[in-house]
Amino acid sequence: MKQPKMTDVAKVAGVSPTTVSRVINRRGYLSEKTINKVEEAMRQLDYRPNIVARQLQSQRTMTIGILVPTVANPFFGELTFKLERYFFDAGFKVLIGNAENDIKKERLYLQQLLARQVDGLVIATHNHQQQIPEYQNTNMPVVSIDRYLHETIPNVSSDNYAGGRLATEELIRRGAKHIIHTDSIERFNKRDYLRQRAYQDVMKEHGLEPITYKIDFDSRPELMNQFFNRIFDEHPEVDGIFVSNDMDAIQLLQVARQRGMTVPSDLQVIGYDGVPTTTRIVPELSTVVQPLDEMAKTAVKLLQKEIKGEKVTGSYKLPVKLRVSSSLK
């Protein structure tokens, strides 16, 4: 069968080829009736405007690449969902890559996406940026989420320092005296660990001794169990824990329960993230809520500016809030 042409569509719809083109590109005034006639004719002939060819002309793909560790993690699932929503509203489609803590896979994605397949990138991966030279010398518009990539690349995050202060101050205010902080060791070069620094500052301001334990991000459940059991063995006096992410905090609640501890009377717990899905599954967890919706909106806006040719750099720290639930007294 011969591929139908725009003139065939025009004939069937009883309009001019210019009108067909205007319907396809949604250009100029068009009545609902004309749009329907042309779309019906397109459907009838199975005519598809060649968008790839048009993109080549405009040098735009109207597509954004998003790289995350994995959308299977509720935090990155929610982030990807929100980014896609706002990019869609802005007329962009979204290519998703799960870098899976695999530097080779991240580099392969970057090399291919940088080859003009996308107009811009949002990066939220956890691999070590020093081992990914593509970030050092790209002309591609890029925004990173909660990680520093390069001085030319703007970074959007929750206000990690304010969040760390909020959590620690709340535990103290509610009577906890022996507060421990657990943080993840990131595979990327995390220069600041601001949630931890805030915890340490608040503890010192109150004359309390800060104690931080660290474990690899997204460790296997058995390792997490050992990790929290070790903390309880080494610090039987602990009565408050600020955990740097909710997935870890949920496992901590399980370990505490297994050891016969009662939350919050024996132990008060605050996590970090506050993604709707995990909050729905574990509503008892108090947590510092990241403004994921605002973060996604901001990332989309910044990337659009870069795509238009504006120079954008710096850090965009968005305000957090505390969600108080029954894991606090």
Residues that bind a second copy (CB under 8 A): 43, 46, 48-53, 55-56, 61, 63, 70-74, 77-78, 80-81, 84-85, 88, 93-98, 100, 105, 112, 114-117, 133-134, 137-139, 221, 247, 250-251, 254, 275-278, 280-283
Q: Which is nearer to a second copy, 203 or 282 (CB)?
A: 282
Strand 120-123 and strand 321-323: pairing? Answer: unpaired
Minimum Å gap between C-beta 261 and a second copy is 17
198 vs 256, which CB is nearer to a second copy? 256
Sorted by sequence, the CB contacts under 8 Å of residue 107 that are 6+ apart come out as 132, 134
Cβ proximity to a second copy: between 31 and 139 the closer is: 139
CB-based contact 190:147 (threshold 8 Å): yes
Instruction: Report the alpha-carbon angle 323-326-327, nearest 5.
Output: 85
Choice between 236 and 260, CB closer to a second copy: 260
For a second copy, the closer of residues 73 and 168 by Cβ is: 73
| DSSP bridge partners of 57 | none
Residue type, 41: A
* Element of type H or E holding 217: none
User: Cβ 205 to a second copy, closest distance in Å?
Assistant: 34
Question: Chain-centre distance of CA 297, in angstroms?
Answer: 11
DSSP assignments along 247-259, one per residue: HHHHHHHHHHHHT
Alpha carbons 27 and 5: distance in angstroms, whole number: 19
Instruction: Kindly report the number of other CB atoms within 10 A of residue 16's CB atom.
Output: 11
Closest to a second copy by CB, 7 vs 277, is: 277
- Rounded to the nearest angstrom, the gap between the alpha carbon of residue 27 and the centroid of all alpha carbons in its chain is 34
Instruction: Kindly state the smallest distance separating residue 81's Cβ from a second copy, in Å.
Output: 4
Q: How far is the CB of 116 from a second copy (least distance, A)?
A: 6
Q: Smaller CB distance to a second copy: residue 134 or 159?
A: 134
Beta strands in 220-281 (DSSP E): 240-243, 268-273
Report the nearest approach of a second copy to the CB of residue 197 (Å): 29
CB of 93 to a second copy, least distance (A): 5
Smallest gap, in angstroms, from Cβ of residue 129 to a second copy? 16
